[in-house]
Amino acid sequence: MIYRCNGCSKTTFETSCPGCLNSEVSPSSELDAWHLTPLDPSFYPDFQYRSKGLIKDFLGKKKEQAQLNELLSNVLRKYSELKQPYFTNFIHTTRQRRGSDEAKQSGEYTQLDLFREVLVRKGFDELEGLPSLLDKLLQTTAFNSTYRGFARELSRHIRANLADTLRSWIEEAGTTFRSDLALFYYYLWENKVVFPNVQFNPQAASTHGIPLLPLQALLNSLELCEDIYYDILVERLGSQLEHFNPNQFITMYLVDAMDGFQFEAFLVEIFRTIGYDVKETKKTGDQGADLFVNRFGKNMVIQAKNYSGAVGNSAVQQAISAKAFYGCDEAMVVTNSYYSISAKELADMAGVRLIDRIGLQSYLDDYNQKLIEVFEVEEESA
């Protein structure tokens, strides 16, 4: 089974997060050690029998495990029935900012409180006896949604051997391979992609605590990925030095010289070049949306701001309104400048992604690299 650490957001096959074990922060969650959320709810600690001592285990283990199995069966059935639309829509439309205890003390109700009551009234009464279960199910729902998008993208990179597959994936994924390597191998296992040098543990799918891959095997693979990534960077720099054309490439200074409409048009070109499906909006009456992009099966609305000063709350508010009006999964504001503190706070509260000058430079780097690759292909075919 694969787990996600709620502390560092990395995925792992271990029942304790390797990345957090060396940190000074102590675990405070009952989700196994170090806040781990299993991809499969049947691996939740709530449904695993806990030893009560030799004699009590002998007398009651079988009966209690049967009760836990029945509880698990009921929870999985109800979760499956209610996942669409309740769980999936909840993670796409809300973002918790305050704990239930704090909210209740001030006489307020959080969206999570209300959502729990919605589910209880729909017959999900297990949430009353297991108060932390809803958090875990929501985390699993979000994780599954992310994984489905990841799997669709990774399917395009499968090659005849492991090294070529890793290279194809890393060329597009960049440094995210460091946090998503366990997802990579989980995809290979789930889709029965066989490489001679990858040996999965067949008991991992049904036995709690047994990793799909030994930790050392994963660490060895991470070293291989680092070598591959280093080679990619060296090759890209060499290619850029050989083929760079200052008249063709876009710099941030050229972006600064654009007007608002030119900036929007350029963002369309940027996102299309780096692999997104893009749709522009009308220049008037757009309800705060400048363009829509689609990737990983999710729709995102983008508000473009070509400013010389700091971008304030109004841009974030426009993105929030556009996300609600058009029913998008995500919202983003992109600028060649920076954001005010209040804009950052509002965006964090509302779950709006902010791309500032530094983030836009990363997009420009990807865009210019794609131009180099196109130039190389045209040169080879000439």
Q: Which has more confidence, 281 or 82?
A: 82
Residue 195 banded pLDDT, cuts 50, 70, 90: very high
Which of 356 and 34 is assigned the larger pLDDT?
356
pLDDT tens digits along 58-84: 777 788 888 888 998 999 999 999 988
Per-residue model confidence (pLDDT) at position 223:
96
| AA identity, residue 164 | D
Q: What is the pLDDT of residue 105?
A: 54
Q: What angle in degrees, to the nearest 10, is found between the helix axes of 177-190 and 162-173?
A: 130
Q: Are strands 277-280 and 36-38 parallel, antiparallel or unpaired?
A: unpaired
Local confidence band at 33 (pLDDT 50, 70, 90 cut-offs): very low
pLDDT computed for residue 249 by the predictor: 72
pLDDT digits (tens, 9 = 90+) for 222-276: 999 999 999 998 987 887 677 666 556 778 888 888 888 889 888 988 888 877 8
**pLDDT digit string, tens, across residues 137-190:** 988 888 888 788 888 889 989 999 999 999 999 988 888 898 889 999 999 999
Q: What is the CA radius of gyration of the chain?
A: 24
Question: Average pLDDT over the chain, rounded to whole?
Answer: 82
CATH architecture, domain 252-381: 3-Layer(aba) Sandwich (3.40)
- What's the distance, CA 229 to chain centroid? 21
Tokens of 89: 């829509």
Each residue's pLDDT tens digit, 128-137: 888 889 988 9
Return the pLDDT at 57: 72
State the pLDDT confidence band at 285, using cuts at 50, 70 and 90: very low
Q: Where in the chain do CATH 3.40.1350.10 domains reside?
A: 252-381
**Is residue 284 over pLDDT 80?**
no
Express each pLDDT in 314-341 by its tens digit: 899 989 988 888 888 889 999 999 999 9
Asked whether residue 359 carries a pLDDT value surpassing 50, the answer given is yes
